[in-house]
Structures are given as structure tokens and as C-alpha cells.
């Protein structure tokens, strides 16, 4: 048997990183060989393509097929071994999907050294076989990847000649890479949406969609108590409080971020001197590099007590954790998104448009208001949409400054929570994916995706209606 020596190699020879680096080195070597061959042949005959394109041709052809095989094998080997492990399961014919998953987890726990008492004999046998075959699969992956790299590299090197259209072939390869990247991006998006959708459908087997979409109460924590047989309130899964809280905090954040960010961008691009711009712009962008947990500490320890103290002085009832505190700090956090992007968009408006406005007698204020901002409107709207997405997806600040209470209120002085915060809260720790409480996180995620798509759609319609068209 040809593969017998390989199958006896239970010890991993190369790691995945080492295999990739060897493949890149192999491609680079073949690239230099192809370049040298092309340069030497130039002495006797004119080259159809420059020497660098021969380098790219040999290098890309040696690396890309090998890397694609490496990625493909890395994806499928786990599935193959998972199916292969089913041969060790007792009473395989009577097991359903859940039982198979439980058996698989038992084997993986044994492989990882996570034991809860003495494992069953079949689990130990399957775990030992898994370890052996994983090493064998890794070795096979490394050998075949490196062999493909050398084979394709040698093939590309043999194709090098003065008449060979290296540039045309390199452009074709790059075109294929761009197309493949687009397909991967689309499939990734579809995979995310479909995975969330399927789990949401399972959730609707437990909870009626109407109760979820229009329910005014979110109270899932009693589910465990009811299962245990204790008396208590029925769990309720109304998403309205979380979306109201998300919108409330986001509006507070945008009230701070959009005016400050947009006005600072206008000032830096149209009014500030180069010296002032060189100082202020980096200082604004520093805000984008501060971890969100630091903003959360600032909101919980400084802003929230300040708001509570001021509210009590004027006779208002303010919660120790409020949407206003979280929204204000979140607004400060997303200022750089609005400011930096808007500044870049405003600077990209052609100077000739400004000069034309000045030539007609417009002031700087009129030029900015009537010429520059309408021309930069699509980019400004894109910056605001990015800021909204950042605000909607923020979790840490909300947890530390707004709390976890799913209150249905429009008062920014009350404690609220957001969709993303509840998703994180639900999925923390080990979860049973057969319960409505766990599956509700996927339903919330799907509704958040739909809401974001609707928001983007209306933003595009606004841009189309109000943007200025120029020839």
C-alpha cells in the first residue's frame, strides 16, 4: 500500500502555519527562477511580457492551487472524521441527530482531556482513533499541499519563454481571484443569514411570531424554574422593549455624534489652517482607538453619577443606570467615525467647484452650505450609517451604563437594554440549544439584520433624492 508509510506517521510533522510558509517560500523560489529565465532569454529574443510578469506567473501558480487545496482540506477533514467517528457509536441505527451530537461531544471532551468521571470504553477507543487520524490527516494535508506547490511551480516555470504572454495570464489569475473573493463574501453573508434564519424558525416552534414581534414584555428567566416544576410566571419573549431601548440609546448617541462630528469635519476641511488641522485631527482619531470597556467605565463611574446628581438637584427621578448616560458616552465614542469619514469626503469634492462658487461672489459659508455639502452628501450619509451601525452593535457601554433591564420606556433617564446586550447575556456560558431562551438570541439577531437592511434602504433613498448630480 502506497500510503502505508504515511498512515504510520502519527506525529504531526508540519503545522498549518509552517505548511503555508513553506508554500509561499516555494512560490517565491519558482518566481525568481521564472524571472531569471525570462531575463536570460531576453538576450536572444524580445520578450512578450516584462520579466516581473513571469515572476508573478510562476509565483501565483505555485501558491494559489496549493493554498486552495489546503483550505478545502481544512474545511472537509473535520466533517469526514466526524462521520467516521459514527462507526464507534453504540446502537448507531437508533440514534437521532441530538444523540449523535452528544456522543461527538463526549469524544471531543475525552480528546481535550475534559473528563466527568470514567469515560465509556467506546469513547476512549474513539478518542484514541481520533488523535491518530487527526495527525495523519494533518500530515497528508501538508505533504499534498507542498507537492502541489512544487508541481504547479515547475509547470509554470516550464511555460516561461520569450513568446509566452505572462502579463495576460497573470491578469486572468487576478481576475479569477477577485471573482472568487466576491463569491466568498456573498456565500459568507448568505451563510450567516441562513444560519440565523434556521435557528429563528426553530424558535418560532416554541413561541408564536406575533408574540415575539409585538410582545411588550421580555422575561425569559422563569423558563428554568417552570421546567423544574416550581410555580412562577410564564416566560415572555416580546422583542419590543429591546428595540425601543436600542433606538433610544442610538438616538441619544447620534444627537451628540452627528452635529459634533459633522461640524468638526467642516471646520477642519474648510476653515482650519494646516497647523491646526495637523493637531486636531489626530486628537479626534485617538477617540476611535480607546477600548469600549474604558468608555464603559467612564460612563458608569463618571457620567451616570453626574446625571443622577444633576437630576436630583432639579427634582427629576434618574436611575443609577440610564439610557442618557450610555447614549452620551456612546456619542463621544462614534464622533471619530462621523468626523474622519466626513472630512475625507468633503476634501474629495473638486477644488474647481469651490473656485467656481468664489468666482460668482459666494462667501466661504455659502460655498460650504450650497456647493460642498450637497456634493459630499452621499459620503456624509454613509458616515452616519456607519456610526448608527456602530451604535446599534455596541454592548459593553450599555451593560455598564444602561443596565440589563428590558424596560419599555421612552424616558432616557430610565434603565434600558439593547438587542445586542440581550444576545450576549443569553449566550454567555454553556447553553442548551433546544430551549426557547437560547434560540431567542438568534431571533433577535435576525430582526436586527432586517432592521439594519431597512435602515440602509431608506438612507440610500434619501441620498438619491437630495444629492447633487454633476457631469
Q: What is the pLDDT of residue 431?
A: 61
Residue 216 belongs to some domain of the structure: no
Q: What is the pLDDT of residue 293?
A: 84
Residue 220 belongs to some domain of the structure: no
Please report, for the domain that includes residue 368, its CATH number: 1.10.3720.10
226 phi and psi angles, rounded to 5 deg: -65, -40
184, 244: one domain: no
Residue 83 belongs to some domain of the structure: yes
Read off the C-alpha cell for 156. 509554470
140 phi and psi angles, rounded to 5 deg: -60, -45
188, 260: one domain: no
277, 182: one domain: no
* CA–CA distances in Å: residue 254 to residues 63, 299, 322, 326, 443: 47, 16, 16, 12, 26
Which residue's entry shows cell 431601548? 245
State the average pLDDT over residues 3-14: 44
Give the relative orientation of helices 51-85 and 166-203 as an angle to the nearest 10 degrees: 30
Give me the residues paired with residue 218 across strands: 237
Residue 4 or 295, more confident = 295
- Where is the domain boundary, 141, 163, 193? 193
What is the tally of structural domains in the chain? 2
The secondary element (H helix, E strand) that includes residue 184 is helix 166-203
The three state secondary structure string of 226-258 is: HHCCCCCCCCEECCHHHHHHHHHHHHHHHHHHH
In terms of Cβ atoms closer than 10 Å to its own Cβ (0-12, 13-18, 19+), residue 214 is exposed
DSSP code of residue 468: P
Instruction: Please write the tens of the pLDDT for every residue from 137-163.
Output: 778 888 888 899 999 999 988 888 888
DSSP code of residue 371: I
State the average pLDDT over residues 270-279: 85
- How far apart, in whole angstroms, are the C-alpha atoms of residue 344 and residue 348? 6
Q: What is the pLDDT of residue 1?
A: 37
186, 242: one domain: no
Beta-carbon count within 10 A of 68 CB = 13
340, 446: one domain: yes
Instruction: Please write the tens of the pLDDT for every residue from 234-258.
Output: 778 888 888 888 889 889 999 999 9
Residue 208 belongs to some domain of the structure: no
Q: What is the residue-wise DSSP string for 281-334?
A: HHHHHHGGGS-HHHHHHHIIIIIHHHHHHHHHHTT----SS-HHHHHHHHHHHH
State the average pLDDT over residues 221-237: 56
Query: Residue 384: helix, strand or coil by DSSP?
Result: helix
Q: What is the pLDDT of residue 125?
A: 77
In sequence order, which residues have a C-beta less than 8 Å from that of residue 460 and are 6 or more positions away?
none
Kindly calculate the radius of gyration of the chain based on its CA atoms and give it in whole angstroms.
Answer: 30
240, 181: one domain: no
259, 381: one domain: yes
Task: Report pTM.
Answer: 0.72
* CA–CA distances in Å: residue 5 to residues 1, 10, 136, 145: 8, 10, 10, 18
Residue 318 belongs to some domain of the structure: yes
Read off the C-alpha cell for 243. 428595540
Q: What is the pLDDT of residue 214?
A: 86
Residue 124 belongs to some domain of the structure: yes
Instruction: Please write the tens of the pLDDT for every residue from 94-107.
Output: 666 666 667 777 77
291, 379: one domain: yes
* CA–CA distances in Å: residue 449 to residues 158, 322, 392, 425, 452: 51, 25, 11, 18, 5
Residue 198 belongs to some domain of the structure: no
Query: Residue 448: helix, strand or coil by DSSP?
Result: helix
Residue 118 or 354, more confident = 354
pLDDT band at residue 219 using 50, 70 and 90 as cut-offs: confident
Contact (Cβ atoms closer than 8 angstroms) between residue 466 and residue 374: yes
For 93, the domain range is: 7-193
Give me the residues paired with residue 237 across strands: 218
- How far apart, in whole angstroms, are the C-alpha atoms of residue 86 and residue 205? 29
- Where is the domain boundary, 193, 209, 228? 193
Nearest one of 70, 66, 59 to 156, comparing CA atoms: 59
| pLDDT tops 60 at residue 232 | no
Residue 231 belongs to some domain of the structure: no
- How far apart, in whole angstroms, are the C-alpha atoms of residue 239 and residue 118? 44
- How far apart, in whole angstroms, are the C-alpha atoms of residue 124 and residue 348? 65
The overall average pLDDT reported for the chain is 81
- How far apart, in whole angstroms, are the C-alpha atoms of residue 402 and residue 399? 6
177, 265: one domain: no
Instruction: Please write the tens of the pLDDT for every residue from 295-330.
Output: 888 888 888 888 888 888 888 878 888 888 888 988
258, 154: one domain: no
Contact (Cβ atoms closer than 8 angstroms) between residue 135 and residue 6: no
Contact (Cβ atoms closer than 8 angstroms) between residue 347 and residue 274: no
92, 160: one domain: yes
Instruction: Please write the tens of the pLDDT for every residue from 26-71.
Output: 889 988 988 888 888 777 778 788 888 889 888 999 999 999 888 8
- How far apart, in whole angstroms, are the C-alpha atoms of residue 108 and residue 90? 16
113, 185: one domain: yes
Q: What is the pLDDT of residue 466?
A: 61
Give me the residues paired with residue 377 across strands: none
Amino acid at each position: 500500500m502506497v500510503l502505508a508509510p504515511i498512515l504510520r506517521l502519527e506525529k504531526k510533522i508540519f503545522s498549518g502555519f509552517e505548511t503555508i510558509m513553506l508554500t509561499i517560500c516555494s512560490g517565491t523560489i519558482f518566481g525568481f527562477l521564472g524571472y531569471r529565465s525570462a531575463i536570460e532569454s531576453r538576450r536572444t529574443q524580445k520578450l512578450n511580457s516584462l520579466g516581473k510578469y513571469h515572476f508573478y506567473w510562476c509565483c501565483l501558480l505555485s501558491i494559489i492551487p496549493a493554498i486552495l487545496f489546503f483550505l478545502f482540506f481544512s474545511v472537509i477533514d473535520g466533517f469526514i472524521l466526524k462521520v467516521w467517528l459514527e462507526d464507534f457509536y453504540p446502537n448507531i441505527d437508533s440514534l437521532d441527530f441530538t444523540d449523535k451530537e452528544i456522543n461527538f461531544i463526549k469524544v471531543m471532551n475525552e480528546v481535550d482531556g475534559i473528563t466527568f468521571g470514567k469515560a465509556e470504553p467506546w469513547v476512549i477507543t474513539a478518542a484514541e482513533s481520533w488523535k491518530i487520524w487527526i495527525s495523519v490527516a494533518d500530515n497528508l494535508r501538508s505533504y499534498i499541499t507542498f507537492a502541489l506547490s512544487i508541481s504547479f511551480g515547475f509547470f509554470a516555470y516550464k511555460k516561461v519563454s520569450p513568446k509566452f504572454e505572462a502579463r495576460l495570464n497573470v491578469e486572468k489569475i487576478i481576475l479569477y481571484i477577485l471573482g472568487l473573493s466576491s463569491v466568498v463574501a456573498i456565500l459568507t453573508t448568505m451563510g450567516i443569514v441562513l444560519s440565523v434564519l434556521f435557528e429563528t424558525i426553530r424558535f418560532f416552534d416554541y413561541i408564536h411570531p406575533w408574540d415575539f414581534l409585538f410582545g411588550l414584555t421580555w422575561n425569559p428567566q422563569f423558563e428554568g424554574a417552570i421546567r423544574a416544576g416550581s410555580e412562577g410566571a410564564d416566560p415572555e419573549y416580546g422583542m419590543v422593549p429591546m428595540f425601543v431601548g436600542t433606538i433610544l440609546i442610538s438616538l441619544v448617541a447620534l444627537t451628540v455624534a452627528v452635529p459634533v462630528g459633522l461640524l468638526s469635519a467642516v471646520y477642519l476641511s474648510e476653515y482650519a489652517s494646516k497647523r491646526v488641522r495637523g493637531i486636531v485631527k489626530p486628537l479626534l482619531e485617538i477617540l476611535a482607538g480607546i477600548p469600549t470597556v474604558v468608555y464603559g467605565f467612564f460612563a458608569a463611574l463618571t457620567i451616570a453619577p453626574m446625571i443622577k446628581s444633576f437630576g436630583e438637584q432639579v427634582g427629576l427621578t434618574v436611575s443609577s443606570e440610564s439610557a442618557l448616560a450610555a447614549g452620551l458616552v456612546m456619542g463621544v465614542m462614534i464622533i471619530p467615525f462621523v468626523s474622519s469619514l466626513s472630512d475625507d469626503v468633503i476634501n474629495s469634492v473638486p477644488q474647481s467647484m469651490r473656485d467656481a462658487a468664489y468666482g460668482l461672489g459666494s462667501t466661504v459659508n455659502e460655498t460650504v452650505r450650497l456647493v460642498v455639502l450637497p456634493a459630499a452628501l452621499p459620503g456624509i450619509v454613509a458616515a452616519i450609517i456607519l456610526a448608527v451601525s456602530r451604535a446599534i452593535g455596541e454592548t459593553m457601554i450599555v451593560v455598564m451604563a444602561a443596565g440589563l433591564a428590558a424596560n419599555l420606556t421612552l424616558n432616557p433617564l430610565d434603565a434600558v437594554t439593547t438587542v445586542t446586550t440581550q444576545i450576549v447575556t443569553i449566550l454567555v456560558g454553556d447553553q442548551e440549544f433546544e430551549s426557547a431562551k437560547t434560540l431567542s438570541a438568534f431571533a433577535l439577531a435576525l430582526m436586527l439584520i432586517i432592521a439594519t437592511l431597512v435602515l440602509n434602504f431608506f438612507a440610500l433613498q434619501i441620498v438619491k433624492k437630495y444629492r447633487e448630480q454633476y457631469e
